[in-house]
Amino acid sequence: MYYLHATNTKAGKLRYYFSKKLNIDSCWDIMPAGYEIYEEPNGKVYARKKVTTLITPEEIAVVNDGMLRFCEIEDFKLDVKKESVDIYTNENGKLESIVPVQKWHYGTQLRFRLVDSEARIFTVERFCYLGSIDDWIDLDSSADLGELVHEYAPHLGKASFYELM
């Protein structure tokens, strides 16, 4: 069980966090107004200010359904942010058949970012692991999100992913 706590920052503002330890002095019974519980794909839980996404539920479904249809990776999570849908895949999946893994780790390698909210234009980006870059690089853009998912999701978990530029 996790307990919601609050502490003062150096600036005197409240910072909310979760802990397994119960500390009566800092424990809160209810979530403060304007905050939400957020669990990141690797399981860490936070109390954060509510995030309003510009991505529609239908667009989230397009990415999820496309991953199920076109990608060989079955163990994935979607993390919907303000302007993007990030795809996290299980980075321990290949080790599972060799060594039993007790803690899963999910890493993000591909995302679909909304760049024009009126025309609903998305870019697809992959994470670049070259030491000098270590950042997102644009691959393509389109108003047809389904087509972007169809074209790029099949590369996840394959050598061809690293050839995408």
pLDDT digits (tens, 9 = 90+) for 117-165: 999 999 999 988 777 677 899 999 999 999 999 999 999 988 888 888 8
Q: Report helix, strand and coil shares of the chain as percent, to nearest 5.
A: 20, 40, 45
Q: Which pLDDT does position 71 carry in this prediction?
A: 94
Q: What does the pLDDT average to over 76-84?
A: 95
Per-position b or e across 28-46, b if 16+ CB within 10 A of its CB: eeeeeeebeeeeebeeeee
Tens-place pLDDT, residues 4-26: 888 889 999 888 888 888 887 77
Domains of the chain in start order, with CATH, are 3-49 (no CATH), 57-163 (2.40.128)
Task: Judge whether residue 94 has pLDDT over 60.
Answer: no
Instruction: Look at the chain and count its residues.
Output: 165
